[in-house]
Amino acid sequence: MGRPRKPIQQRSNGVYCVQLHLGGKRVMCSLGTRDIEVAHRRAAQAMAELEAAHKAKEEGETRWRDAEEFSSLLELSDVLDPQTTAEQYTGKRAQDDGSGAFLDKNTEALAQVLLKREVPATWNDLIREVERIRRRKNLSPFSASWHRNVGIAIKQCPFELAEATPAQKRSGSGSIKCRIQASLV
């Protein structure tokens, strides 16, 4: 029988943290205090947040949205103003009366993105960026065969760049993943 695990631990800098073992991995969350009593009060909430994040990760939930969803938001922001579109999307309508800024950070960030009209990047945008960097560094341009091979790898890729999550990139077939990574390096 092993030693019992203590969820509340003190780090070397004196700050307390919660340490749990979920799914065979150690996950930690700082409690942001050097006081043991405050740490015990905050520990339950931190453990619940860690367990909820682990459960969401197991269920495959991600923070990424579909590119089509974002393009429909851009179209809606043409009809309505970006602030109203962001309010309707997030469902949070509270604004600060003085500054007019949203109290919800996600709503404010979405409104700013819609205002700037930032469109998700594509594979071709990434290729152009790599070519621009090579020109800036005075390196030789990529050959025609490099462009052909990258084009083949992109066509075989099962997801778009805007839809890519780290898990999708790792779970793709090995040959596609290796070709794309080797081509863009």
Helix (H, G, I), strand (E, B) or coil at 20: strand
- φ/ψ of residue 28, rounded to 5: -130, 155
Could you tell me how many helices (H) and strands (E) the chain has, helices first? 8, 3
Got the DSSP string for 88-157?
HHH----B-TTT--BSSHHHHHHHHHHHHTPPPP-HHHHHHHHHHHHHHTTPPPPPHHHHHHHHHHHHH-
- φ/ψ of residue 101, rounded to 5: -80, 155
CA proximity to 185, closest of 119, 120, 144, 139: 139
Share of the chain above pLDDT 70, in %: 67
- What pTM, to 2 d.p., does this model score? 0.37
Q: Over range 5-29, report the average pLDDT.
A: 91
Cα angle 116, 120, 122 (rounded to 5 degrees) comes to 140
Side chain identity, residue 50 = L
Helix (H, G, I), strand (E, B) or coil at 8: strand
Predicted confidence band of residue 174 (pLDDT cuts 50, 70, 90): very low
- Beta-carbon neighbour count of residue 177 at 10 Å? 15
DSSP state of 66: -
Minimum mean pLDDT range among 5-9, 107-111, 134-138, 139-143: 107-111
DSSP state of 6: P
